[in-house]
Structure 1
Amino acid sequence: MAKRKVDSENRAFNNRWEAEYMFTDIAGKPVCLICGANVAVIKEFNLRQHFETKHKDNLKDLDAEQKKRKAEDLKKNLTLQQTFFTRAKSQSEAAVKASFIMAEIIAKSARPFTEGEFLKSCMIKVFDVLCPDKKQMLANISMSRNTVTDRICEMATDLRAQLSERSKDFIAYSLAVDESTDMTDTTQLVIFIRGVDSNLRVTEKVMDIKSMHGTTTGKDIFEKVCQSVTDMKLPWDKLIGLTTDGAPAMCSEKCGLVGRMRVKMQEENCTGELTAYHCIIQQEALCGKVLKMDHVMSTVTQTVNFIRAKGLNHRQFRSFMQEMDSEFADIPYHTEVRWLSRGKVLNRVFELSNEICQFMDSKGKDSTVLRGEKWKCELAFLADITAHLNALNLQLQGRDRMITDMYDAVKAFQVKLLLWETQMQQCNLPHFPCCQVMLSEVSTTVFPKTPSSHGGLVTLKHKKKSLELLCTQPICH
């Protein structure tokens, strides 16, 4: 005889059981209104047995009408309890979600993890003024340092898992590798990945960041990259491109990363060829170094370092700027690793040249070079052309940039150089505001119309040749 299945009998809860046995139906299961116990099978015998065994003596003095009212009251209390726990669960989920959102903001802004509690205390003060009734909801959000750390680790793990899952559909991918030293003198190796699937959906992500505490030779970088590729379970035969800068540890064919990656692909029996690229932004920065004005930049750097290196000089310079009612209160540092800072420093030094000369004289420093008309004209030109280079550099940066757009930006800059060269021969300087200021202050002999004797024109020609080389070499994002 086959075993009888209760689920197939389509048993239904009878409403009269609420008053008779103090039971109600919740999600298809009979639940006792008095003790909260549930019965697995919807059957009157089971409900009656539970009621007579445990609750009959407590309700024996009630008549039918009283038992009915008692059941309704118990049912209302049970509904309130369920609503309370549902609301508490919803508030708890909202608090966790809010904690993740705040942790994400802290991580993206590179703020210390300990600032979670500070942000929370600020928000509580604001809520206390604007909406004090919701202050407790904010107090339930956990933003301790350990919590923020855990939240960020969970998000990073999830993002990595998503990237790993999406990489399974790649039909081809390329890597971009760059290394730089942080403020603690630790080398950070950043590995970017760009992959495309069969639907031509492009994925650009940071695949991994590796800290390198020892040497940074080609072998060390190669081992870190291989470890990341292995951890992501990426197939070597689908690797088609590798982008690096011009450092020997990166691009050397024998002992650099590029050469070792090609050897690795041969060991993995990959039929495709690995194409090595030179980062277009780094190439543009290298082209900018053909400007033969090191004597100008070295003088500017020495002057800025004299003002900023010592706290006393820096404080006195800022006080001097306030006394002079200057438009600017300070002068920025120049850092070689940040290419865009050069233009800002040059432009500020040019605008504050008179104030800087007065301050240097007050400190007993020789400012003869800073006052020279020729040197100031060269400073003006260098500030203007560096500003144009910075504008080009910014055009080459950013996410979702296509190589065709970046190539067009470089070619357009070449055309601009030809225009500027022609305009400089005519002493027409609408695109060189600093030079225009100097032209109005000094004699025209400093800005001769003969191209052969104009240092600025020679620099423009060098720059144009370098950009022509840039446009003829393999480049990538």
Structure 2
Amino acid sequence: MRERMREENVTDELTAYHCIIHQESLCGKALKMEHVMSTIKRAVNFIRAKGLNHRQFKAFLEELDTEYGDLPYHTEVRWLSRGKVLQRCFELREEICLFMESKGKDTTELRDETFLCEMAFLCDITSHLNVMNLQLQGRGRVISDMYSTVKAFKTKLSLWETQMRKENLSHFSSCQTMKEKLSIAVFPCAQFADKLSILAADFRCRFADFEAQKSRFELLSNPFAVDVESAPPNLQMELIELQCNDTLKEKYERVGAAEFSRSIPDTMPQLRIQAARTLSMFGSTYLCEQLFSLMKLNKTSQRSRLTDNHLHSILRISSAQSLTPNIDELVQKMRHLQVSGSASDK
């Protein structure tokens, strides 16, 4: 893209940054708790890998009349599956141990109090990360909104660290459950507070490039609250006119930041350009991955006669956000085909 900009004699600097969703996923690895996940995966694979074990485990859960009837698989490429597997294993931790013991398997590690505490913490923090991950996904996610979601999560991490050091587990339900089952001295709140501090530091490091774009995001998300003196000089006069226009302010409050940018009048060209530049920034590769998934769903071994043109048409229709058929034009084309067909018959 930089080469193309040079060819076109574009002097503006290209803003480079990473996918927000990928960055958030990588931050979760800073906890260094893969040993907990490895133990859980071994237990899940023992139950799920063999059909007999799987059927017997489901029958075992049915006999015990548990809330859940099965264990999900963990898939590394599906980030959200990690939290689901952890949550289910924590809920069924006693049943899993009983079943594995009936099969002659050693469950010493699964019953270890330190391991159970680590499992509870990893379950809770992964659940929080999954909630944020879902908030970052979807069509029409403006980069300024996505950054606000990340900024809110960093503030939450600071709160959770402070509360954890005071042994307040209000936002960590699994940890609260384990603390009630164990003696107060056993639950390592200080250790987990340090983990939260490491996670917060990793978030600050990985999202430092977005912090540098903070003023640009504010101009899009809430131009009426921006300090005019701190804004770029080429925007200051237009910002004053915008902030003093009650009609535009009322519209902004009604339609939101993304839609409002279309309503900026032509008399404010610099603000329109600034809004367009920010809106053109993709916060994540979500749309690219969604299109690839659509292609994988349609391009299967069973559809051997699918041509490139057909696949292109299918992807264009399935990925379109709003598509309205032009009935008049289609009818007109069909009429021309019928007339030409009738003439050739004669």
- Normalised to the residue count of structure 1, the TM-score between the two structures is 0.43
Report the secondary structure of 1:473's partner residue.
helix
d(CA) in 2 for partners of 1:462, 1:439: 23
8 Å contact 2:141–2:283 — kept in the other structure? no
Per the TM alignment, residue 371 of structure 1 is displaced from its structure 2 partner at its CA by 0.3
- Deviation of 1:447 after TM superposition, in Å, equals 2.3
2:10 equivalent in structure 1: 271
Per-residue Cα deviation, 1:187-224 (whole angstroms, up to 9, x for no partner): xxxxxxxxxxxxxxxxxxxxxxxxxxxxxxxxxxxxxx
Q: Secondary structure at the match of 1:331?
A: coil
User: How far off its partner does 1:262 sit?
Assistant: 3.5
Q: Deviations over 1:425-456 (max 9, x none)?
A: 2221110000000000001122256xxxx321
Equivalent pair of 1:427/1:447 in contact (CA under 8 Å): no
Could you say which residue in structure 1 is the equivalent of 2:306?
none
**Do the aligned residues in 1 keep the contact of 2:61 with 2:69 (CA within 8 Å)?**
yes
Query: Which has the larger Rg?
Result: 1
From 191, 195, 209, give the equivalent of 1:455: 191
Higher helix share: 2
Superposed, 1:125-144 pairs within 5 Å as: none
Q: What is the distance in 1 between the residues matched to 2:188 and 2:19?
A: 38
Q: Which residue is 2:46 aligned to? A: 306
Q: Does residue 113 of structure 2 align to residue 373 of structure 1?
A: yes
Equivalent of 2:186, from 418, 421, 446? 446
After superposition, the C-alpha distances for 1:240-261 in whole angstroms (9 at most, x for unaligned) are xxxxxxxxxxxxxxxxxxxxx4
Deviation at 1:422, TM superposition (A): 1.6
1:88-144 CA distance string (max 9 Å, x none): xxxxxxxxxxxxxxxxxxxxxxxxxxxxxxxxxxxxxxxxxxxxxxxxxxxxxxxxx
Counterpart CA distance in 2 for 1:285 and 1:464 is: 13
Contact kept in structure 2, 1:411 and 1:471, CA below 8 Å: no
Residue 348 of structure 1 is matched in structure 2 by 88
Report the secondary structure of 2:18's partner residue. strand
Separation in structure 1 between the aligned mates of residue 188 and residue 28 of structure 2, nearest angstrom: 24
User: Deviation string for 1:347-379 (max 9, x for gaps)?
Assistant: 100000000000110111110000001100000
Residue aligning to 2:337 = none
* Within-5 A mapping of 1:92-111: none
The question of 1:431 aligning with 2:171 is answered yes
Q: Secondary structure at the match of 2:201?
A: helix
User: What residue identity is the alignment partner of 2:191?
Assistant: G
Q: Distance in 1 between matches of 2:68 and 2:154?
A: 34
Q: Conserved in 1, the CA contact under 8 Å of 2:83 and 2:130?
A: yes
The residue that corresponds to 2:205 in the other structure is 469
Counterparts of 2:188 and 2:79 in 1: how far apart (Å)?
A: 31
Q: How many residues align?
A: 212
Q: Relative to 1, partners in 2 of residues 1:397 and 1:264: Cα closer, same or farther, differing over 3 Å? A: same
How far the C-alpha of 1:265 sits from its partner, in A, is 5.1
CA offset at residue 387 of structure 1? 0.4
Distance in 2 (alpha carbons) for counterparts of 1:399 and 1:430: 33
Which structure is richer in relative contact order (CA contacts within 8 A, separation 6 or more)? 2
Pairing partner for 2:56 from 313, 316, 322: 316
Identity value in percent? 59
1:386 counterpart = 2:126: yes
Aligned to 1:363: 103
Query: Which runs of 5 or more residues in structure 1 are unaligned?
Result: 1-260
**How far apart in 2 are the matches of 1:276 and 1:430?**
39
Greater strand content? 1
In the aligned structure 2, how far is the partner of 1:315 from the partner of 1:265?
A: 60
- Do the aligned residues in 1 keep the contact of 2:40 with 2:89 (CA within 8 Å)? yes
The 5 Å alignment of 1:157-306 reads 261-263=1-3, 266=6, 268-272=7-11, 273-306=13-46
1:399 — aligned with what? 139
**What SS does structure 1 have at the residue aligned with 2:122?**
helix
Deviations 1:390-438 (CA, angstroms, capped at 9, x unpaired): 0111111111112221111111111111111121122211100000000
- Amino acid of the structure 2 residue aligned with 1:333: Y
RMSD: 1.7
Q: Report deviation, 1:278.
A: 1.0
What are the Cα deviations for residues 24-64 of structure 1, in whole angstroms up to 9, with x where unaligned? xxxxxxxxxxxxxxxxxxxxxxxxxxxxxxxxxxxxxxxxx
Structure 2: runs of 5+ lacking an equivalent: 211-281, 285-346
